């Protein structure tokens, strides 16, 4: 059974598990919809008072939010294990996977499907269809942005979670970093300059997750395309390398688990 | 109760409970400070978040668009206000995650046999954890403020914030404790957590003082625990006032009492459910 087939099988189980408890599934999904609505209200009230920020109005931010909601949704449904990976490492749950033949990282990513992500999926599609002012011709660019944005988002989350191989208190910190990445991805691109721009394009790569894809949607160019694809590849390699080094520590018993 | 030993009975008395809670609180502070690399990371990200939010408000202020609320912004901008609101929100410990783990994984049951109240111990530990973060992030904030050359508010503003800030963070811990106790009924507390967090941001005025919003919104928000948690301490940086400080202090203490009562009610209801039906 190939890697992809194993991943698909694990993921199908995870999704079925998340759907098993109907009440909780509905509660989770609706909870996320309500959360997203509150977030929209937050920005709506901001723009009602201040109209625009550096040329970005409510509709530009709605396009940005639609993309990031879709990225979080796809990550949550199909790679949901990223969310609590640091805790999984710290609880020593990797032990059970060490003796199995398949790669560990995909198994960790596929161990959970987050029910709340379905709420994000609904809201993301709704935002892109109603507010983002997109046409049918934009669909390939949107899909490319979603694939690359999701890749970078999950890769970054894996890198943050891998801090658990070094620090016992990394569970909460890894979540905080992921939340920060989301926070950065939810602000108009026009506010970033100097150091904040550097951070947004390196440590918390919101720039590559949504800002560059949004720029690509506005004005498609080979340069933007190359940047998005290169960033996706680079963050994938980085995350895999950090996880691999961490696993070497884990195998040598240098990680405090339990 | 009749079969309970005198020792166990004595442990349930208030002084014993308070002593144990104090130990848990001190443990939380010490553990947080001992984990200094993580604390340093939080401080760095506080500064990064501040840089982003300051950039947002600098952009808004520099435009000064006619007919917008930009003209209502305070002279010194909102950097100090956001500095306080972010300091508090980033310092609140993630007690909801710990409660979710213990409740969902069945780790609660062994604690029920012990003489000390599980929930009091957890809340006290999280308050200590929160204080450790407040110290670490607060120190970073003060250093950054000194280096920035930003115009400082009067000294009494810092004194007011030193009292209202930790109490605001305590309100945050109690809010998240209520969220964590939802694990008795739902599999994951993520939905109630994120909804509560966004309501907190909105009604608490994380990004902008609620006084900038329409009057009807302000009136609804200011009587919420969210405003008591972050708006009230933050507002002291914009408009320090002894009379406002007194009113805000009373409001915070009232919310701490109310939220603690709510925790006790939910905890008892949750325990009844677990003992009757299991998890």
Q: What is the tens place of the pLDDT at every residue in A115-170?
A: 889 999 999 999 989 888 888 888 999 999 999 999 999 999 999 999 999 988 78
> CB–CB of A180 and B97 under 8 A?
no
- Give the angle subtended at the CA of A85 by the CAs of A83 and A90, to the nearest 5°: 140
Contact status of A192 with chain B (Cβ, < 8 Å): yes
Q: How much is the average pLDDT of B177-193?
A: 89
Q: Give pTM, 2 decimals.
A: 0.77
Looking at the predicted structure, is the pLDDT value of residue B160 above 60?
Answer: yes
* Distance in angstroms (rounded) separating the CA atoms of residues B255 and B265: 15
| Number of domains forming the structure of chain B | 1
Tell me which residue in B52, B188, B194 faces A191 most closely, judged by beta carbons: B52
Q: Which long-range contacts does A32-35 make (Cβ < 8 Å, 24+ apart)?
A: A32/A116, A32/A117, A32/A118, A32/A119, A32/A120, A32/A123, A32/B191, A32/B194, A33/A119, A33/A122, A33/A123, A34/B195, A35/A119, A35/B191, A35/B194, A35/B195, A35/B197, A35/B198
* Distance in angstroms (rounded) separating the CA atoms of residues A226 and A232: 10
Q: B7 falls in which pLDDT band (50, 70, 90)?
A: very low
Residue A1 pLDDT: 63
Instruction: Find, among A104, A223, A202, A227, the residue nearest to A162 by Cα.
Output: A104
> CB–CB of B59 and A31 under 8 A?
no
Q: How much is the average pLDDT of A33-49?
A: 85
How far CA B170 is from CA of A11, A176, A208, B270, in Å, comes to 40, 19, 37, 22
Tell me which residue in A30, A49, A192 faces B55 most closely, judged by beta carbons: A192
| Number of domains forming the structure of chain A | 1
Nearest-10 Cα torsion for B129, B133, B136, B137: 180
Looking at the predicted structure, is the pLDDT value of residue B13 above 70?
Answer: no
A217, part of any domain: yes
Looking at the predicted structure, is the pLDDT value of residue A230 above 80?
Answer: yes
B4, part of any domain: no
A257, part of any domain: no
Residue A234 pLDDT: 97
Looking at the predicted structure, is the pLDDT value of residue B73 above 90?
Answer: no
* Distance in angstroms (rounded) separating the CA atoms of residues B1 and A243: 53
A256, part of any domain: no
Q: Quick: pLDDT tens for B99-142.
A: 998 998 888 888 888 888 899 999 999 999 999 999 999 999 99
B272 is in which domain, residue-wise?
Answer: 11-277
Residue A170 pLDDT: 84
Instruction: Find, among B33, B86, B78, the residue nearest to B56 by Cα.
Output: B78
Please list every residue in chain B whose beta carbon sits closer than 8 Å to the beta carbon of residue A30: 191
Residue B5 pLDDT: 45
Instruction: Find, among A234, A191, A193, A186, the residue nearest to A69 by Cα.
Output: A186
Cite the DSSP H helix spans in B69-151.
Answer: 79-91, 95-104, 109-112, 118-148
* Distance in angstroms (rounded) separating the CA atoms of residues B179 and B157: 32
Contact status of B42 with chain A (Cβ, < 8 Å): yes
Contact status of B198 with chain A (Cβ, < 8 Å): yes
* Distance in angstroms (rounded) separating the CA atoms of residues B139 and B101: 31
Q: B12 falls in which pLDDT band (50, 70, 90)?
A: low
B128, part of any domain: yes
Query: CB-based contacts of B68: which residues, under 8 Å, 6+ apart?
Result: A49, A50, A51
A64-93 per-residue burial string, b: 16 or more CB within 10 A, e: under 16? bbbbbbbbbbbbbbbbbbbbbbbbbbbbee
CA distance, residue B130 to nearest chain A CA (Å):
13
A188 is in which domain, residue-wise?
Answer: 3-251
**In a 10 Å sphere around its CB, with 0-12 CB exposed, 13-18 middle and 19+ buried, how is residue A202 labelled?**
exposed
A258, part of any domain: no
Please list every residue in chain A whose beta carbon sits closer than 8 Å to the beta carbon of residue B37: 167
Looking at the predicted structure, is the pLDDT value of residue B10 above 50?
Answer: no
Enumerate residues 199 to 218 of chain B having a beta carbon within 8 A of any beta carbon in chain A.
Answer: 199, 201-202, 207-208, 212-213, 217
Contact status of A26 with chain B (Cβ, < 8 Å): no
A167, part of any domain: yes
Tell me which residue in B55, B191, B208 faces A31 most closely, judged by beta carbons: B191
Q: A35 falls in which pLDDT band (50, 70, 90)?
A: confident
**Residue from A166, A176, A191 to probe the interface with B (highest B Cβ count within 10 Å):** A191
Asked if residue A243 lies in contact with residue A158, where contact means CB atoms within 8 angstroms, the answer is yes
Please list every residue in chain B whose beta carbon sits closer than 8 Å to the beta carbon of residue A49: 68-69, 208, 212-213
Asked if residue B122 lies in contact with residue B211, where contact means CB atoms within 8 angstroms, the answer is no
A213, part of any domain: yes
Q: Which position has the higher pLDDT, A1 or A206?
A: A206
Tell me which residue in A31, A54, A183 faces B59 most closely, judged by beta carbons: A54
Asked if residue A66 lies in contact with residue A131, where contact means CB atoms within 8 angstroms, the answer is yes
* Distance in angstroms (rounded) separating the CA atoms of residues B235 and B243: 13
- Local structure of A181: helix, strand or coil: helix
B1, part of any domain: no
Mean per-residue pLDDT of chain B: 88
Contact status of A207 with chain B (Cβ, < 8 Å): no
Residue in chain B lying closest to A23 (CA)? B186
Q: Which long-range contacts does B206-212 make (Cβ < 8 Å, 24+ apart)?
A: B206/B82, B206/B85, B206/B86, B206/B89, B206/B230, B207/A42, B207/A46, B207/B53, B207/B56, B207/B82, B207/B85, B208/A46, B208/A49, B208/B78, B209/B78, B209/B81, B209/B234, B209/B235, B209/B238, B211/B235, B212/A49, B212/B69, B212/B72, B212/B73
Q: What is the DSSP letter of B69?
A: G
Enumerate residues 118 to 157 of chain A having a beta carbon within 8 A of any beta carbon in chain B.
Answer: none
């Amino acid at each position: 059974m190939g890697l992809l087939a194993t991943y698909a099988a694990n993921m199908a189980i995870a999704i079925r598990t998340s759907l098993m408890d109907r009440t909780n599934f509905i509660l989770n999904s609706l909870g996320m919809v309500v959360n997203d609505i509150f977030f929209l209200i937050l920005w709506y009230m901001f723009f009602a008072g201040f109209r625009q920020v550096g040329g970005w109005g409510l509709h530009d931010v709605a396009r940005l939010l639609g993309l990031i909601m879709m990225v979080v949704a796809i990550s949550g449904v199909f790679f949901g294990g990223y969310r609590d990976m640091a805790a999984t490492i710290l609880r020593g749950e990797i032990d059970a996977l060490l003796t199995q033949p398949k790669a560990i990282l995909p198994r960790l990513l596929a161990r959970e499907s987050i029910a709340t992500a379905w709420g994000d999926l609904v809201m993301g599609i709704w935002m892109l269809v109603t507010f983002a002012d997109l046409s049918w011709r934009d669909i390939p660019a949107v899909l490319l942005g979603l694939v690359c944005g999701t890749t970078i988002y999950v890769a970054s989350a894996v890198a943050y979670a891998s801090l658990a191989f070094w620090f016992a208190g990394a569970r909460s910190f890894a979540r905080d970093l992921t939340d920060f990445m989301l926070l950065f991805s939810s602000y108009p691109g026009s506010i970033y300059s100097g150091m904040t721009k550097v951070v947004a394009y390196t440590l918390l790569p919101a720039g590559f997750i949504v800002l560059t894809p949004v720029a690509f949607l506005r004005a498609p160019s080979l340069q933007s395309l190359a940047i998005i694809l290169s960033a996706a590849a680079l963050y994938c390699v980085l995350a895999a390398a950090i996880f691999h080094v961490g696993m070497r520590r884990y195998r040598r018993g240098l990680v405090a688990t339990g | 109760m009749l079969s309970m030993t005198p020792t166990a009975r004595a442990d349930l008395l208030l002084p014993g409970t308070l002593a144990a809670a104090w130990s848990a609180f001190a443990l939380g502070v010490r553990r947080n400070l001992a984990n200094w690399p993580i604390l340093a990371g939080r401080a760095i990200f506080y500064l990064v978040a501040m840089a982003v939010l300051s950039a947002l408000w600098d952009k808004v202020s520099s435009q000064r668009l006619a007919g917008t609320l930009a003209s209502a912004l305070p002279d010194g901008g909102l950097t100090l206000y956001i500095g306080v609101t972010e300091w508090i929100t980033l310092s609140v410990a993630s007690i909801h995650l710990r409660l979710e783990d213990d409740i969902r994984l069945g780790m609660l049951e062994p604690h029920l046999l012990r003489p000390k109240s599980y929930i009091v111990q957890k809340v006290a530990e999280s308050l200590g954890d929160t204080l450790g973060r407040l110290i670490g992030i607060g120190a970073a904030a003060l250093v950054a403020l000194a280096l920035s050359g930003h115009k400082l508010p009067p000294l009494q503003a810092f004194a007011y914030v030193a009292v209202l800030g930790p109490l605001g963070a305590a309100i945050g811990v109690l809010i998240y404790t209520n969220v964590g106790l939802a694990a008795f009924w739902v599999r994951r507390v993520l939905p109630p957590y994120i909804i509560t967090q966004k309501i907190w941001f909105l009604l608490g005025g994380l990004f902008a003082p609620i006084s900038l919003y329409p009057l009807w919104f302000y009136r609804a928000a200011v009587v919420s625990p969210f405003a008591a948690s972050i708006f009230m301490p933050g507002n002291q940086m914009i408009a320090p006032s002894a009379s406002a400080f007194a009113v805000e202090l009373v409001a915070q203490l009232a919310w701490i009492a109310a939220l603690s009562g709510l925790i006790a009610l939910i905890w008892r209801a949750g325990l009844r459910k677990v003992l009757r039906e299991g998890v």
